[in-house]
């Protein structure tokens, strides 16, 4: 955000907005302002005295004018009084601030702690009388408004002011991509450090039971998610599934359905998928099919899952005949891409995710390709132990955000893959065949990388794409440490699997190719000799 506060803090009386907001500003080296203190300077008396002499409506007018002034001129952390967001004009101003990229933080304290602090502080005309009863009544009215306005929610129960301030900094540094469109219940993809802490806010207060579906390999992160969920009051069922594609089978799904039935999961309960793309695909499929659909949240823990499987509403399982042939379109309540999980990734698992990132650059956003070029060496040599807090973290966060925006664009305009969304499958027709022929020993991002080179070669052979763009595919992907060739299957086997591709129509082979970078097109039934020649070209390094 170019102008206005770095962050605005709202919350109930006693939530600690002033103390935590000041700590946050100090950590960031920014100025801090408290609206109530600034109002008292402006009116020349205490707020209690002004309430008594002029009444609440007059106070709210002064408060509204001061907030508008600060929204346009103050660049630090700005804490508002508890009642400020209840004024319609202030609500409009805060929505404009958020729409412009601002961070509106709802500081949610434990009610007992907040009431005790509010009573101890005194000088609060809104709590005259039975202070606790008044606080609870105000909370019932204000909480839904705070939750609707804020784009960052920080729960402070059990935290020191310093811990809460650090949490606010982490949360305000996040990137958000909103996914909307026909047939889509709007949801957000939130990217940043500490995003798992937002699980209770995305799940809401309706679910009683939550099925936490994850793989053994992400136990460190699932332990953290389980603690967060249980602390928020959910009854958590911990469900461990096999790693990678071995977890995406009907047998695994059936075992989970039986578990949900035995444990009394209802339509108002929820599913959380935490892991790589195969895990989130399976978790989404279970959520879509249990009682015809329950709420679910995706928590991707790999780069590939963050940029691909977790967003878009595709859920599914594999069959012996192919990948993702059984599934449904079912959008999540939210996606939480916690960058801390990338710090535990081995280098090869991180690098394969760059295959999907590059694909999005080829089909829609050339700036992605420029970023990959500038940082190829750093990305290729990724070391999770030295990732967080470095300039590379911001680079990766931008790549994730841009790639998710590409996917959101295609999904928002074509949820059920009738046409436009098929462009996201650039490189996938051969990629999926490679995965199947390799019995899923090849990772998806690596197979897609080879598949994009094949698609570029085919486009060149059919007169769609210049040779230099084909070579650019090879050079960029190689510089990132991704494969650009494959030689472990026959052309006949590959073509047989291509006919089972989801884009195929009857006996018509259908490919996604480029006629220039950023401009994909459909290619139906190209000459078979061109397909075979393109295949021969990717068999050579």
User: Where is the binding site for NAD(+), in residues?
Assistant: 243-248, 277-281, 301-302, 314, 323, 341-344
Would you say 540 and 534 are in contact if contact means Cβ atoms under 8 Å apart? Answer: no
User: Residues within the annotated binding site for Zn(2+)?
Assistant: 356, 428, 444
CA distance 301 to 173: 19
Residue 152's DSSP bridge partners are 105
Backbone angles phi and psi of 422, in degrees to 5: -60, -25
Please tell me the distance from the alpha carbon of residue 403 to that of residue 354, in angstroms, as a whole number. Answer: 10
Binding positions: 14-19, 36, 60, 82, 124, 142, 243-248, 277-281, 301-302, 314, 323, 341-344, 356, 428, 444
Dist. CA 523–CA 521, nearest whole Å: 6
Number of residues that this document lists for the chain: 541
- Going by the annotation, the residues of the binding site for Mg(2+) are 18
Q: Which residues are annotated as a binding site for ATP?
A: 14-19, 124
- Angle at which helix 428-437 crosses helix 444-461, to 10 degrees, equals 130
Q: What is the 3-state secondary structure (H, E, C) of 113-163?
A: HHHHHHHHHCCCHHHCCCHHHHHHHHHHHHHHHHHHHCCEEEECCCCCHHH
Q: Which residues are annotated as a binding site for substrate?
A: 36, 60, 82, 142
Which of 306, 363, 317, 98 shows the shortest CA–CA distance to 191?
306
- Write phi, then psi, for 243 (nearest 5 degrees): -70, 155
Reading the block at residue 474, the tokens are 């090879």
Q: Quote the DSSP letter at residue 45.
A: S
The count of other CB atoms within 10 Å of the CB of residue 41 is 8
Vertex 538, ends 534 and 539: CA angle to 5°? 115
Task: Please tell me the chain's helix, strand, coil percentages from 3-state DSSP, rounded to the nearest 5.
Answer: 55, 15, 30
At 215 the three-state DSSP class reads strand
d(CA 514, CA 489): 25
| SS3 annotation, 60-103 | HHHHHHHHHHHHHHCCCEEECCCCHHHCHHHHHHHHHHHHCCCC
Name beta bridge partners: 316. Answer: 327
């Amino acid at each position: 955000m170019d102008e206005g506060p770095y962050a605005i803090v709202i919350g109930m009386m006693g939530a600690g907005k002033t103390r935590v907001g000041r700590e946050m500003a100090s950590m960031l080296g920014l100025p801090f302002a408290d609206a109530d203190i600034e109002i008292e300077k402006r009116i020349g008396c205490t707020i209690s005295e002004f309430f008594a002499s002029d009444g609440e409506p007059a106070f709210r007018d002064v408060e509204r004018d001061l907030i508008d002034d600060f929204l346009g001129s103050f660049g630090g952390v700005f804490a508002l009084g508890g009642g400020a967001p209840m004024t319609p004009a202030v609500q409009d101003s805060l929505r404009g601030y958020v729409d412009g990229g601002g961070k509106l933080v709802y500081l949610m304290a434990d009610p007992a702690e907040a009431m005790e602090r509010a009573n101890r502080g005194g000088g609060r005309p809104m709590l005259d009388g039975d202070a606790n009863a008044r606080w609870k009544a105000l909370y019932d009215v204000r909480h839904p408004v705070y939750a609707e306005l804020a784009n960052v929610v920080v729960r402070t129960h059990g935290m020191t002011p310093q811990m809460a301030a650090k949490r606010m900094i982490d949360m305000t540094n996040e990137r958000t991509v909103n996914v909307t469109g026909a047939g889509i219940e709007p949801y957000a993809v939130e990217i940043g450090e500490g995003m798992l802490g937002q699980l209770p806010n995305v799940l809401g207060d309706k679910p009683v039971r939550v099925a936490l579906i994850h793989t053994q390999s992400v136990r460190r992160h699932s332990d953290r998610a389980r603690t967060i969920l249980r602390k928020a009051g959910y009854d958590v069922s911990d469900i461990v599934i096999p790693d990678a594609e071995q977890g995406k089978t009907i047998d695994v799904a059936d075992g989970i359905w039986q578990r949900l039935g035995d444990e009394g999961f209802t339509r108002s309960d929820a599913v959380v998928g935490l892991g790589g793309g195969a895990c989130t695909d399976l978790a989404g499929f279970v959520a879509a099919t249990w009682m015809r659909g329950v709420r679910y949240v995706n928590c991707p823990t790999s780069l590939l899952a963050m940029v691909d499987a977790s967003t878009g509403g595709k859920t599914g399982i594999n069959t012996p005949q192919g990948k993702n042939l059984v599934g449904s379109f079912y959008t999540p309540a939210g996606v939480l891409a916690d960058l801390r999980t990338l710090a535990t990734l081995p280098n090869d698992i991180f690098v394969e995710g760059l295959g999907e990132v590059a694909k999005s650059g080829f089909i829609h956003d050339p700036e992605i390709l420029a970023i990959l070029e500038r940082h190829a060496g750093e990305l290729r040599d990724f070391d999770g132990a030295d990732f967080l807090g470095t300039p590379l973290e911001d680079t990766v966060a931008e790549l994730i955000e841009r790639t998710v925006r590409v996917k959101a664009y295609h999904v928002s305009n074509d949820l059920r893959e009738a046409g436009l969304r098929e462009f996201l499958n650039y490189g996938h027709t051969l990629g999926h065949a490679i995965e199947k022929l390799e019995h899923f020993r090849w990772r998806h991002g690596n197979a897609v990388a080879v598949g994009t080179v094949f698609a570029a070669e085919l486009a060149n052979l059919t007169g769609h794409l210049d040779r230099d763009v084909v070579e650019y595919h090879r050079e960029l992907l190689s510089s990132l440490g991704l494969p650009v060739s494959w030689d472990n299957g026959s052309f006949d086997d590959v073509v047989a699997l291509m006919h089972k591709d989801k884009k195929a129509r009857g006996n018509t082979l259908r490919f996604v190719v480029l006629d220039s970078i950023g401009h994909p097109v459909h290619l139906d039934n190209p000459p078979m000799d061109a397909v075979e020649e393109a295949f021969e070209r990717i068999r050579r390094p």
